[in-house]
Amino acid sequence: MDAPVENKKEKPSIKPKDKFEGKVLKTSLQGALIDISCPLPAFLHISQVVDPANPDAILKTLDDVIKVDDVVTVWVRRVLKDHIELTMHEPLAYEWRDLAPEMVVHGKVLRLESFGAFVEIGAERPGLIHVSELSHNYVRVPEEVLKVGDEIDVKVLEVDRRKKQIKLSLKALLEAPEVEAPEPKRSGRKGKGHKQEVVEEPEEEVIPDPTYMEIALRKAMDKAEQRLPEIASRVKKAKSFNSEADEIFERTMQKKINKD
- In contact, 49 and 59? CB cutoff 8 Å: yes
Q: How many CA atoms lie within 13 A of 192 on its CB side?
A: 0
Locate the domains of the chain by residue range. 19-87, 96-173
Neighbours of 86 (CB within 10 A): 25
Between the CA of residue 211 and those of 38, 94, 205, 215, what are the distances in Å? 114, 90, 18, 6
pLDDT tens for each residue of 145-168? 999 999 999 999 999 999 999 999
Q: Residues 102-113: pLDDT tens digits?
A: 999 999 999 999
Task: Tell me what pLDDT residue 186 has.
Answer: 66
Does residue 190 or residue 137 have the better pLDDT? 137
The pLDDT value recorded for residue 62 is 86
Instruction: Give me the mean pLDDT over the 26-41 stretch.
Output: 93
Domain 96-173 -> CATH class = mainly beta
- Tell me the pLDDT tens digit for each residue of 204-220: 555 555 565 666 677 77
The answer to whether the CB of 67 falls within 8 A of the CB of 26 is no
- Fold identical between 19-87 and 96-173? yes
Mean pLDDT over 186-191 rounds to 56
What is the pLDDT, as a whole number, of residue 5? 47
Residue 8 has what pLDDT? 47
The rounded distance, in Å, linking the Cα atoms of 103 and 105 is: 6
Sign of CA dihedral 145, 149, 151, 153: positive
Lowest mean pLDDT among 53-67, 115-129, 183-197, 230-244: 183-197
Range 130-134 average pLDDT = 96
What is the model's pLDDT at position 239?
65
CATH number of 19-87: 2.40.50.140
Strand partners, 75: 19, 87
